[in-house]
């Protein structure tokens, strides 16, 4: 995987990021980083601010304040270079259901300026990695939910980004398909990629190198699952998460 970073710092570096919608504060001074080869779980209940953060990271909205950098590129000042280093799987599926698996990936490759033999090699590699080669000519609508998610991950792999953003990517999948997708994404670390995995499921966060607990737009704590459990004197990450979010709910 090529290294297109401006400097050898974190793949993702957020400093004091703030975002409000009218009187509602969605993100309140977020500081967060993801290093090369690191899997970071962004753990928070619904309404924590996870989706808002991903909207900022993918250029859908602009932050009110703060600095967001991807591979040394400021998203606000140089969005094209920053977004070129990101591969995304959104919570809501964004595939064209009537196109084949291969056609969906080919369209994505063209968006990133890839064509000809180069694109074909990238697509074939992504499909093979995820066991989708036999389904390359099938329309997406004929695939199971788990395989559709694999296609979205394959699409994210095609342009070989440095950073992967996974926004509640296992929603709607059965436990076996959820575990398989999580294992595939965990395997990206061996290629030097960084992963930010947003979830509200404790069992997914337990596989992370580092967990960032987000609640009501604020980072409450971060550390390895073991560190967070030990710091709060809890029996498990689930217990630590529940105690922390309840204590900061203001109720």
Q: What are the backbone dihedrals phi and psi of residue 53, each rounded to the nearest 5 degrees, phi first?
A: -60, -45
Q: What are the backbone dihedrals phi and psi of residue 143, each rounded to the nearest 5 degrees, phi first?
A: -90, 155
Q: What are the backbone dihedrals phi and psi of residue 66, each rounded to the nearest 5 degrees, phi first?
A: 100, 180
Which of 77, 71, 90 lies closest to 33, judged by CA? Answer: 71
* Fold classified for 1-85+162-251: Rossmann fold (3.40.50)
Whole-angstrom distance between the N-terminal and C-terminal Cα of the chain?
Answer: 47
Cα–Cα distance, 23 to 193 (Å, whole number): 37
Q: What would the pLDDT profile of 120-155 be if each residue is shown by its tens digit? A: 999 999 999 999 999 999 999 999 999 999 999 999
Cα–Cα distance, 89 to 152 (Å, whole number): 6
Any idea what DSSP says for residue 144? -
Q: How many residues does the chain have?
A: 251
CA gyration radius, the chain: 18
Query: What mean pLDDT is reported for the chain?
Result: 92
Cα–Cα distance, 251 to 246 (Å, whole number): 8
pLDDT of the residue at 125:
94
Cα–Cα distance, 99 to 106 (Å, whole number): 10
Q: Judge whether residue 221 has pLDDT over 70.
A: yes
Q: What would the pLDDT profile of 44-93 be if each residue is shown by its tens digit? A: 998 899 999 999 999 999 999 999 999 999 999 999 999 999 999 998 88
What confidence category does residue 8 fall into, taking pLDDT thresholds of 50, 70 and 90? low
Structural domain spans, the chain: 1-85+162-251, 97-160
């Amino acid at each position: 995987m090529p290294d297109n970073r401006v400097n050898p710092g974190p793949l993702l570096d957020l400093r004091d990021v703030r975002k409000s919608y009218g009187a509602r504060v969605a993100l309140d001074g977020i500081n967060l980083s993801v290093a090369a080869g690191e899997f970071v779980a962004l753990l928070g209940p619904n309404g924590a601010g996870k989706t808002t953060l991903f909207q900022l990271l993918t250029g859908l909205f602009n932050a009110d304040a703060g600095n967001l950098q991807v591979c040394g590129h400021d998203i606000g000042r140089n969005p094209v270079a920053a977004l070129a280093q990101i591969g995304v799987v959104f919570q809501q599926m964004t595939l064209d259901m009537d196109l084949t698996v291969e056609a969906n990936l080919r369209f994505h490759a063209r968006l990133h300026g890839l064509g000809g033999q180069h694109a074909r090699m990238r697509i074939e590699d992504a499909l093979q990695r995820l066991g989708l080669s036999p389904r390359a000519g099938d329309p997406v609508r004929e695939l199971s939910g788990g395989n559709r998610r694999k296609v979205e991950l394959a699409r994210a792999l095609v342009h070989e980004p440095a950073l992967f953003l996974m926004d509640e990517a296992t929603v709607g999948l059965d436990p076996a398909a959820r575990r398989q997708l999580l294992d595939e994404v965990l395997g990206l670390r061996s290629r030097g990629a960084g992963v930010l995995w947003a979830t509200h499921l404790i069992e997914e966060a337990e596989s992370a190198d580092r967990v960032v607990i987000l609640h009501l737009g604020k980072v409450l704590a971060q550390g390895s699952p073991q560190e967070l459990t030990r710091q709060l004197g809890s029996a498990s990450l689930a217990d630590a998460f529940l105690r922390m979010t309840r204590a900061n709910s203001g109720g």
